[in-house]
């Protein structure tokens, strides 16, 4: 399942619901991304996305993961809009009969989300607002798959 939304979500409740849906899978791995305050002066974050392309890109990344690993299901939720420090930005969850498949697929989803899903982050501090630059290692991370 793929969801792109501005609304806050409860990562714990989402994980429980996902685990119930895949009951019997044996292994569930999840990752939750939280807005972190690196500089100590962060007042929030603005996440822009490309409506339409985002949903397609996430669905394609998820379908790729489902094909590469033996998964019972995979969940991706990503928010856009204005977020405060400490808020959940996104989560992925994978379920498989095999622990290794669940872990690897979750890492794969994260690596592709970072640099192939059309989201852009802007950090807002008391000094102003700046777009977060992509990192070379994010691009390099794709080569291992």
Partner 1 sequence: MQVLYFAWVRERVGIPREEVETSAATVNDLVAELRAREERYEVAFADTSALRVALDQELAEFDAPLSGVREVAFFPPMTGG
Tell me which residues touch partner 1 (CB under 8 A). Answer: 33, 48, 50, 52-53, 56, 78, 89-90, 110, 113-122, 131-134, 138-139
We find the least distance from the C-beta atom of residue 26 to partner 1, in angstroms, to be: 26
Distance CA 28, CA 56 (A): 24
Residue closer to partner 1, measured from CB, 102 or 117: 117
We find the least distance from the C-beta atom of residue 107 to partner 1, in angstroms, to be: 11
Residue closer to partner 1, measured from CB, 36 or 97: 36
The CB density around residue 59, as the number of other CB atoms within 10 Å, is: 13
CA distances from 59 to 54, 113, 126 (A): 8, 11, 36
We find the least distance from the C-beta atom of residue 102 to partner 1, in angstroms, to be: 18
Residue closer to partner 1, measured from CB, 102 or 109: 109
We find the least distance from the C-beta atom of residue 117 to partner 1, in angstroms, to be: 4
Residue closer to partner 1, measured from CB, 98 or 122: 122
The CB density around residue 108, as the number of other CB atoms within 10 Å, is: 22
Q: Using an 8 Å Cβ cutoff, are 111 and 142 in contact?
A: yes
Rg (CA), the chain: 16
């Amino acid at each position: 399942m793929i969801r792109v939304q501005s609304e806050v979500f409860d990562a714990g409740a989402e994980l429980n619901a996902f685990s119930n849906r895949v009951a019997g899978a044996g292994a569930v791995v999840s990752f939750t991304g939280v807005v972190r305050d690196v500089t100590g002066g962060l007042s929030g974050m603005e996440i822009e996305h490309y409506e339409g392309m985002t949903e397609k890109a996430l669905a394609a990344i998820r379908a790729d993961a489902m094909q590469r690993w033996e998964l019972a299901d995979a969940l991706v939720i990503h928010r856009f809009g204005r977020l405060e420090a400490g808020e959940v930005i996104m989560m992925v969850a994978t379920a498989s009969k095999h622990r290794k498949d669940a872990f690897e697929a979750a890492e794969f989803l994260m690596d592709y989300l970072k640099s192939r899903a059309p989201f852009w982050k802007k950090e807002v501090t008391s000094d102003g607002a700046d777009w977060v630059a992509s990192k070379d290692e994010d691009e390099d991370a794709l080569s291992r798959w």
